[in-house]
Structure formats: structure tokens, C-alpha cells
Chains A and B, each alone.
Chain A
Amino acid sequence: MRMLLLLLSLLVTPLAWGQATGPLIDALATDDYAAKEQALTALTETGDPAIVPALKALEGGQLYRRLTDDKVVIGRENGDNISLTDPLSGDTLGSVPAGDLELIRVNNRLRRAIGASLGALTLRSPDAAVRRTAAEAVFVNRDAAALPLLEAALAEEQDAKVKRSLQQARAAILLADANLGTEEKLSSIATIADKGGQAALALLNPLTGSTEPAVAKAATEAVRLIDNKLAWAAAAQNIIYGMSLGSVLLLAAIGLAVTFGVMGVINMAHGEMVMLGAYTTYVVQDLIRAHAPGLFDWSLLIALPLAFIVAGGVGILIERGIIRFLYGRPLETLLATWGLSLVLQQAVRSLFGPTNMEVGNPDWMAGAFQVGEVTITYGRMWIFLFGLIVFAALMLLLRRTPLGLQMRAVTQNRSMARAMGIRTARVDALTFGLGSGIAGLAGVALSQIDNVSPNLGQGYIIDSFMIVIFGGVGNLWGTLVGALSLGIVNKLLEPLAGAVLGKILVLVGIILFIQARPRGLFALKGRAIEH
């Protein structure tokens, strides 16, 4: 019976729409805000989706009264003139000078009401996602006027998820009604508690002080549940942040794991290799913007090989020009490469200036998605995946290619490797180039989340060394575990101790950890390391 009625109403209402809404829209053209709000309520009650564009225009300051005939129109600026469209049919009505129109102004109160109306009106959109957003909007606004529309929408809703959202919105509106019976209050609380989140908490918190003991108890219980859930979500979010930070640290440290871990060379200019990678990205984007703007979305992929070549090439030059004369003198290597990092920083500063460079995010790096209560940005996700890919590729290179075999041979026993016919000098240069090139790749990723300035690398060098030492020198798996665990520990400590104190605690923790395990988490076994 009810279905029949509904069908009937569906058949009838479209006929009624259109005829009635025209004059109702024109009623908006008044200076009296209360009258405007009445007109808005009347419009909302028609439930006619055709008024949505008009309401959006009103909200966006694009709804005008035409002075010649008092008709309400939508206007979009078009040079000096304003081109008009009919608010209901969307037909174009030509363009007129701005002087022929008067803007229909809105205040904040009205803006809220418009938001609520829009929420209610889009409740029956054919798109399930739109319906759900509308239900969420109603939940937040809790506009009692939307209740009839909401119930109508609820009756015909098929999608289970949307239905739940609608029920939650309905519960939110019902709870706002002071005359509601205890039974219904309790069921509303249960529905809202089911939703969870900050908005639900805001609704339920006032009810914990309710005069009805049953309601107060239910609300308190619900608040406790939601708080619990939120705490877990916050922890999960922190772990996600931590993994993201860990992947950044991994990218910065993994090249160092090659030069320091595998070769035993202290490269204090490693951070500057990262910086070079970031500046390569900037130059690539700059050229693309100037010559081929269509390629912008590909800029990072184009920058990757170039950054590898630039940083790797500089790395090979450094190895051939400086480091090879200092093998076996780690402290001198440290000093020379530190000097080199100063020179590189100043060179970049002289070339590009000391200010931060603008490096854009391609579309696929922008935005975020939601998993439960946890937000993950696409940028962070890609960087995380990229870190893992680089790690896996490096692993493959070291374990499965002739070059990797030679690298391992040279690091394990240089003279024996040379005796077997390996050109150790060439392998040294290539290994160092590889480590530096990976730093360049890290620079491409870091350019997306950090300021591209001459000091970019400085921020990562100490952390990177800590990670390589923490994970165990000469062990890439240690670097992976070290980077991720440091990132997560850092982010978990942050809410407890603050960002700076958290970082200090981590540094102190590592210093103490080195006491217990001087060779790191995954120490190489045997006497080979006791040089």
C-alpha cells in the first residue's frame, strides 16, 4: 500500500514541479533576509531537484534580480557583461551589462540554510555517492525542515550504505527534537553511535548530561565507544604517517646504505646528492612548463632517470676525483665530503638563488582517499610504493646481476677480487655512482613533499646515517627495517612528546641502542667487519 502511494506521488509530483517553483524562486529577490529564508524553505519543500543550480548560484553569489522585470536569473561574468541563464530550465537569456542586475545577497545564516536545503534536495540524486554526501550534509546541519524529504528518500532507498547514512541523518535530526520519547532517543543514540567520528561525538556529548538516566547512560556508553574507536583510528593514522615518514627516510638512507654500508665510505655530501635530484626535478618541470605543458603529469617520470644520471654522474666524479685517494682513511673521507657538501650547497645557491623552488605536484600525486577513519594522501602513497620499488630494484641489482656480484666481491675481499680479474677501481666508481644515483631518485620524491632549497639535504643526512647504523652497516634489510621503525616510532612519539622532543628521544634512543648492539640491528656475522 505504502509502495503504491509512493509510486503515485512519484508520478504526480513531477507534474506539480515547475509550475509552482517559478514564482517561489522569484520570491528570493527581496532585501529582507527573513523573507528570503521563508522563500528558501518553501523552495526546499517542493523537493524539486531543478532548483539545485539556482541554490548553488545563490550560495556562490551568482544569482541576480533582473531590474527590468524583477525575474531572478543566474549570471556569470563574461568580460564587462554578465551572461544570463534561466535558473530552472538553464536556457540562456543573453547577456546584459552589470548595471541591469542586482545581486541577491546572502548572509551566513542563509548560507547555512542553503547548505541544508542542497543536502536535502540531492538526497534523491540518481548517483549513490551524491546521495550519500547529501545525507552526510543533512547529518551535520540537522535541519528539521529536511526531515520529510529525508523520510521520503529513506523509503525508496535501495543502496544499503546510503540507507544507513540516511538513517543516521534522520537520527541526528530526531535527537535535536526536545519532545522525543525516551525509546526513540535510545534508538537514535544507537544509530549515531554506530556512525562514529567527531561529528557523532559532538551530537552525543551534550546528551551525557541528560535528565533521563537511561538516555544519559546510553549516551555515555556511546561516547566511550566512539572515543575508543577514534583513539584506534588516531593510532592507525599515526602508523600510516610513520610509514610514510619511514619511506622518505628509507629513500634518503638507501643510497647511503650502498656507499656507507656496502663500500664503507662516509659520504657527508649524500644529502647534497638528494638535493641535486630535487633540483633536477625543478629544472625538468621548468622546461616542461615552458615548452610542453601537456607533459606536466609526466614530469616526475621524466625527472627520475635524469635525476639518477645527474646525481650518479656527480657521484662518479666525486669518487674519481676525491674519494679514491682517501680509501682506508674514513675520517679524512668524512671531512673531505663535508667540504664537498658545502661547495655543492653554495654552488646551487649561487646558480638558483637561496629561496625555495616551486616544484608542482602532478594530478595523480594530489588528493587523498579515506580508509575507514584514516586519510591517506596519494602523494604519500606513491612515495611509499616508490621507496619499496627502489629497495627491491637495488636488492635485485646486488643479488642477481654480474655488477652486483662484482660489487659484493670487491667489498668482501678487494685483493682477492682483483686477483680474479675484477676491475676494482671501475666497480668502486660504479658502486658510488649507484648510491649517489639512488639519492638523486630520492630527491625527485622529496621534491614533492619538502621545500626544494640548497639546504634540503642537510635535514636528512644525520637521520640517514642513524638509520644505516641502526639497521646494521652493510645490510640492506636492516636499512629497510630501520627506516620504517624509526619513522613509526617518531610519529607515535610525536603526539605524546611533541615533534622536537620526539625526535630528540629517538636520537637518544639510537645512541643508547648502539651501546647494546654496536653493530646495529642486523649485524653481519664473522670477523670480516673487524677492520
Chain B
Amino acid sequence: MQGGILLPRLDRAGLAFGAVALGLAILIPVLNLLVSTDSPFHVPPHVVALMGKYLCYALLALSVDLVWGYCGILSLGHGAFFALGGYAMGMYLMRQIGPRGMYGHPTLPDFMVFLNWPELPWYWLGFDQFWFAALMVLLVPGLLAGLLGWLAFRSRVTGVYLSIITQAMTFALLLAFFRNDMGFGGNNGLTDFKDILGASIQADGTRSALFAASAIALALGFILCRWIVRSKLGRVLIAIRDAESRTRFLGYRVEQYKLLVFVTSACMAGVAGALYVPQVGIINPGEFSPANSIEAVIWVAVGGRGTLIGSVIGAVLVNFGKTLLTNALPEVWLFALGGLFIAVTLFLPRGIVGLWTGYWTRRREKQAASITTQPVTEGQ
């Protein structure tokens, strides 16, 4: 509530979303920890972890919506930023295992002992500190996005070319992280985590805390995105989306705006990945697969591109459907997902939120029309 006083420009939607997310962040842990297991209101720990996972996906979808919905950059590589954030967190969690690994080595993670690494490679240094890992969660995806974006936007690589290049980027990272000598655990990735910030990662309390952290991160991400898209910056972004050349001719440095929003979005995806990893307990190169990135895009498309709230709804709904279907009818899931891609692009170009707002707009127009002009003579 205080946010509303500190940031007077914060709009109702942002506030409402923040309030709902905050409510969830309190409600779910309470229902998990304080309500007895017999009660119908009790939320079992695995459901908490599952919902936490959805919220991380929602944050990823939000970051995709920011660049795709408001700036017209269809990134097919946001899964890479997500995974990089996840790896940064995974490295911190690996260092926290300390001498409790299977081989009992004081500093080296198990897979390095197994592969005969003599000592910790330089890029693993510092990851025993949480603040450093947290910094890297933002910095590594941000730097990669900055580099790629700077190169691409400067050369005016746009549209599908950019999409395919971002896809190639995540594909290259996928191949790279599969290599054992990269020092990131090869195809097994990083797993067997024990502690986070001194608390056992398996404990119900930690899971609830992680869920609450995900909800708060999602709320902050949403408020940040709202703030961006409603500011003057956001207006320019929409102008770039709709008429890039015209915006450039009007004197805006299009590539700088794009770069800024692309890097911001990548950092958000990195945070989502970092929160995702402790809740699922593993990060492996599969997260880099191009299919993951493109799935995140379809969440946004289902919910409604360029609406922010739509991406959150889409991510939660599609993943909920995925959980249900892959359990009940695993064969059908790919048909359903594929069909969703086709159906949404053909029949629901503005997504669920678009459908909703469209319905209300039409209804209001109809009401307005019936009030002002009693005898309707001409068609709408």
C-alpha cells in the first residue's frame, strides 16, 4: 500500500496486481505451514513448489511480453537468459553443498571431482557468496543480452532475422553447456542442492519462503513493466513496435531504446530462472533448448500479447494444462501444445485478455449505441 504513496504514478492495475501477488505470498505459505494437514484448506508442499514454478514461468512470460508485446522484438532466446540466471543460482547452491558431496571434497562439486578437475575454475570463484551469485543472476543475462542486442540492433537486424539469431544463440549455448569441459556439469547439469542461505532447501518453510519470494518478484516485475510501458519510454517503445523507421526519422535513437528494454527483460528472465532452480532442485542444459524459449512465447500469445497481465495468465494457464495433460495423457500434450500455437495465431491473435476486453468494449459500444440512437438504422 505504501508503494502507492511513494510512486504516485503507479496505476490501479499495477497496485491491484501487486496486492494480489502479495496476498498469495502470504496466503499460500500460511495454508501450507499453519493449517493442519487434515484440513481441506491445507496446501501440500509439492503444490507450493509447483505453484512457485508457475510464478517463475509467469515472470519469464512477463519479460517476453515486455520486449515482444511493447517493442516488437520476438526473442526466441529468452529461455537462455532464464537458464543463465538459473545456472548462476545453481552454482551458488553447488558451492553451499561444501564437503557434504558424495566425494566429500571441501570445495569442488561432485562432478568436478568425478571429472578430475584439479581446482575450481576461475569463473566459479565468488559463487560461495549469495550477494555475488545474486549479482551474477542479473549481470550475466544482462551482459549477454547487451552484447547480442548491441550487435543486432546496431545493424538493424529486425523481425524474424532477430528471432532466428536469438534462437541460434540459445542453441549454441545448449551445445556449449552439454560439454563436460565447460565446467557446468555437462548434460547432468547442477543438482543435489542442500542449503540456500543456511536453510535446508527441502524444508517446508524454505519452500514457502521461495514461493513468497517468487510471488514478490513477479509483483515487482509487473510493477516495473507497468511503469516502463506507461512512461514516455513506453510510448516510444510502442512507436518503435508499430513504425520503427518513422520513429527513427522522428529523431529517436531506436537502437538505444531497444537495447535498454531488451537488457531489462533479460535481467527479469534471469531472476525468474534463479528463483526457479531452487524450487525444482535441478538445472541442466535442456533449459537452453530452443523449444523452451518458444514455449514461453506461446504463453504470452495465449494470454494476450502487449497486455502484461495476459502473459501472467497465459503462463499459469498453459503450464497448469501441461501439468494436467502430461500426467493424464502424455501423448496428447504435444498435440495440444501444437494445436494451441496454431489456434491462438489463427483465431485468437489478441489472446485471452484481448477476447475479454474485446467483449466488454463491444458490449459497452452496443449499450452506448442503443442509448444514444434509439432507432438503429445503419450497421456497425
Contact = CB atoms under 8 A, between A and B. Distances in A.
Interface stretch (A50-58, A302-310, A343-351, A439-447): A343-351
B209 interface: no
A507 B155 CA distance: 17
A462 B167 contact: yes
A120 B21 CA distance: 87
Contact of A339 (B161, B165, B175, B342): B342
A501 B177 CA distance: 10
Contacts of B159: 330-331
Contact of A514 (B161, B163, B175, B297): B161
B238 interface: no
Contacts of B167: 462, 465
A335 B291 CA distance: 11
B349 interface: yes
A396 to B, nearest CB: 29
A325 to B, nearest CB: 6
Contacts of A462: 164, 167-168, 171, 290
Contact of A335 (B157, B168, B334, B341): B341
A283 interface: no
Contact of B179 (A343, A350, A501): A501
B156 interface: yes
Interface string A332-345: 11111011111111
Nearest to B151: A515
Interface string B122-165: 00000000000000000000000000100110111101110111
B339 A339 contact: yes
Contacts of A512: 151
Given A339-B340, A343-B335, A500 B175 contact: yes
A515 B155 contact: yes
A490 to B, nearest CB: 12
Given A326-B346, A345-B334, A346-B331, A338 B172 contact: no
Contacts of B59: none
Interface residues of B, number: 42
A518 B175 contact: no
B361 interface: no
Contacts of A333: 345
A266 B345 CA distance: 14
Given A322-B346, A330-B160, A462-B290, A339 B341 contact: yes
A501 B172 CA distance: 9
Interface in B298-349: 298, 301, 331, 334-335, 337-342, 344-346, 349
Contact of A334 (B148, B160, B178, B344): B160
A118 to B, nearest CB: 46
B239 interface: no
Contacts of B33: none
Contacts of B154: 515
A52 to B, nearest CB: 51
Contact of B345 (A336, A346, A516): A336
B157 A340 contact: no
Contacts of A335: 294, 297-298, 301, 341, 344-345
A338 B161 contact: no
B54 to A, nearest CB: 21
A511 B169 contact: yes
A interface SS class: helix
A508 B176 CA distance: 12
B90 to A, nearest CB: 21
A503 interface: yes
A345 B337 CA distance: 12
B163 A503 contact: no
Contacts of A514: 152, 155, 157, 161, 165
Contacts of A465: 164, 167-168
B345 A332 contact: yes
B178 A507 contact: no
B215 interface: no
Contacts of A392: none
Which one of A344, A503, A504, A510 has the greatest number of beta carbons of chain B within 10 Å?
A504
B334 A340 contact: no
Nearest to A330: B160
A334 to B, nearest CB: 6
Interface in A494-531: 500-501, 503-504, 507-508, 510-512, 514-516, 518
Interface in B194-249: none
A429 B145 CA distance: 38
11 contacts: A326-B345, A332-B345, A333-B345, A339-B339, A341-B338, A342-B338, A349-B334, A465-B168, A511-B148, A511-B165, A515-B152
Interface of A: 266, 322, 325-326, 330-336, 338-347, 349-350, 462, 465-466, 469, 500-501, 503-504, 507-508, 510-512, 514-516, 518
Instruction: Across the A-B interface, give the 6 residue pairs with the lowest CB-CB distance, nearest first.
Output: A339-B341, A342-B338, A343-B338, A346-B334, A339-B338, A507-B172
